[in-house]
Amino acid sequence: MVDQSHKKKIPQMPHIGKLYQDFIRKKRYPQVWVAKYMGKNESVVTRYRHRPSLQCYLLWELSHILKHNFFLDLAAQLPSNFTTHAPDPTLALQERVKELEEEVNTLRIQKETLEGILKK
C-alpha cells in the first residue's frame, strides 16, 4: 500500500449552483428569461441552482447570457499563489501609473524652473 500521508487535503469545491442562484436572486433575473436565452425549458435551468457542479460549457453560456464572469468567481476562491496563463489585469493600470509618475516629474521640473525664473 502506498503511503498517502504526505498528500495535502484539497478543499471542497464551491457549490456552482449556489453561485448561480445567488447571482440571479441578487440581480432579480427571472428563470424564464435565462431559459429563453439558453433555448431550454425553465425547469431545466431552475435545476442548475441545485447542482453542486455544472459543465464548463453551461457555465460559459450562463456567463455570456448574464454578462457575469462565474469563472472569475471560482478563481477568486483559489489560493493567490496558484499559477495561471491569464494576463495580469493590472498591467494596463501599472503602465498608466508609470506614465502619470513621469508626467508629474516633468511638471515638477517645469514648476521649479518657472519658480527659479520668477525669483530673478
User: What are 12-41's pLDDT values in tens digits?
Assistant: 999 999 999 999 999 999 999 999 999 999
What are the cell numbers at 93? 493600470
> CA nearest 66: which of 119, 106, 25, 113?
25
Tell me if 7 is assigned to some domain.
no
pTM listed for this prediction? 0.67
CB contact set of 51 (below 8 Å; sequence gap of 6+)? 16, 17
Same domain assignment for residues 71 and 33: yes
pLDDT digits (tens, 9 = 90+) for 42-78: 999 999 999 999 999 999 999 999 999 999 999 999 9
Same domain assignment for residues 62 and 100: no
pLDDT digits (tens, 9 = 90+) for 70-99: 999 999 999 989 998 888 878 889 999 999
Q: Name which residue leads in pLDDT, 20 or 3.
A: 20
**Could you list the residue range(s) of the whole structural domain that residue 111 is in?**
90-120
What are the cell numbers at 105? 516629474
